[in-house]
Structure 1
Amino acid sequence: MTDTQQRYPFPALEHLPDDIRDTILAVQEKSGFVPNVFLQLARRPAEWRAFFAYHDALMLREDSSLSKAEREMIITVISAQNQCLYCVMAHGALLRIFKRDPLIADQVAINYRSAALSPRERAMLDFATRVNEASHTISDTDFEHLRAHGFDDEDIWDIASITGLFGLSNRIVAFTGMEPNPEFYLMGRQPRKKPAEA
């Protein structure tokens, strides 16, 4: 086994509980493929449900002032810090799509401090980085700095929680040896082709 070889085989779709199988098939219908993380976590159905319930509560929350692009930016940056290729490629692809910028994911994954970001985005990522790498050093000064950039306490909770959830995800991906789906590499880099007219 190489260091990057998948260590846990994916379960067969037909052996999964109905709710998980139906969700995976719906994702496949929408995106054209099944992201490997859906299959990898499905080997433990209770954990799959818990992970995606928390994921959806954070990432699909409609009353958050964080944009979809900002949420994906957090994940891309902390996944790069944690050296998680799967999450950088998967969430970098979503970042490119939501931001409508084919360059942004690569820039923030390599060094967000040199990317063309707004002061708000930079403050958000500075905080996410602190939570990811040294959460025990968070102080009231960090909160004051974020508030000066328009974040309220609920936004700060979102930034920290997204960072925490994907820190967990990064570590599961690492020990399982999960690789990114090839489709992630090109998503959002080129304009989508329109279907041929009949």
Structure 2
Amino acid sequence: MTSSPPASRFPVPPRDELPADLRERFDDVEERSGFLPNVFAALSWRPAEAAAFFALHDALMDKETPGLSKADRELIVVATSAANDCLYCVVAHGAIARIRSRDPYLADQVAVDWRKAPLPPRMRAVLEVAVRLAVEPVAVTAADLAGLRDHDLTEDDVWDVGAIVSLFALSNRLAHWAAIPPNEEFYLMGRLARE
């Protein structure tokens, strides 16, 4: 019998010691998904920062726009997290991408090599710029942003691409820093029918 690795290299406070808003959020997530993602536990030792992270996450990820669906937003996270070698974010957001895209294969294809994934031209253009921003930010030019607009992304959508990549660059690095392991539950999400 193996035991799960700790959720973080840093202290994880008991939930009853957290501010009420974080406790409520954690309870809600656990009730909806059946488990608490390790990133929640890992970030909880710094409650003010956790609340700020989740607020920005929600503002960027929990919306649909004509140019970027919720599934598209998750694929940005998967592709850029793969480029940053972040196992936690690839596995966790790959699970969410499978659910939001209703495709059990696409997130894996994007994680391994987004250039070979069956993506429409708009999403291919988005991921090309997003991955470039993730790995070589100075290589992103005004022409890259104009190219996104040519694929019918609005000014807000173009901003969201950069903001999502930037937020998850932070998340990728914190996941590495704290050695946050993916929850086992993520591996099957979106692949098997939910019980």
Query: Do the two structures share a fold, i.e. TM-score over 0.5?
Result: yes
Normalization by structure 1: what TM-score?
A: 0.91
Please list the CA deviations of residues 79-121 of structure 1 after superposition, one character each: whole Å capped at 9, or x if unmatched.
1111111100100000000111111111000000011111011
Deviates further, 56-65 or 99-108: 56-65
Match of 2:119 among 117, 125, 134: 117
State the alpha-carbon separation in 2 of the partners of residues 118 and 16 from structure 1: 43
Match of 2:170 in 1: 168
Mapping 1:18-33, distance limit 5 Å: 18-33=20-35
Runs of 4+ displaced beyond 2 Å: 61-65
* Distance apart, 1:177 and its partner CA: 0.7
Percentage identity across paired residues of the two chains: 49
State the alpha-carbon separation in 1 of the partners of residues 31 and 44 from structure 2: 18
Q: Do the aligned residues in 2 keep the contact of 1:79 with 1:88 (CA within 8 Å)?
A: yes
* Distance apart, 1:64 and its partner CA: 6.2
Q: Do the aligned residues in 1 keep the contact of 2:65 with 2:157 (CA within 8 Å)?
A: no
Q: Do the aligned residues in 2 keep the contact of 1:72 with 1:91 (CA within 8 Å)?
A: yes
Q: Which amino acid aligns with 1:120?
A: R
Match of 1:129 in 2: 131
Q: Which amino acid aligns with 1:34?
A: L
State the alpha-carbon separation in 1 of the partners of residues 67 and 10 from structure 2: 38
Q: State the number of aligned residues.
A: 190
Please list the CA deviations of residues 9-40 of structure 1 after superposition, one character each: whole Å capped at 9, or x if unmatched.
32111111111111101111111100111111
Q: Do the aligned residues in 2 keep the contact of 1:72 with 1:95 (CA within 8 Å)?
A: yes
Match of 1:68 in 2: 70
Report SS of the residue matched to 1:150. Answer: coil
Report SS of the residue matched to 2:170. Answer: helix
Unaligned runs of 5+ in 2: none
Mapping 1:12-51, distance limit 5 Å: 12-51=14-53
Q: Which of structures 1 and 2 has the bigger CA Rg?
A: 1
Aligned CA-pair RMSD:
1.5
* Distance apart, 1:8 and its partner CA: 1.6
* Distance apart, 1:63 and its partner CA: 5.0
State the alpha-carbon separation in 1 of the partners of residues 66 and 169 from structure 2: 21
Match of 2:144 in 1: 142
Match of 1:85 in 2: 87
Report SS of the residue matched to 2:103. Answer: coil
Q: Which amino acid aligns with 1:190?
A: L
Unaligned runs of 5+ in 1: 194-198
Report SS of the residue matched to 1:187. Answer: coil
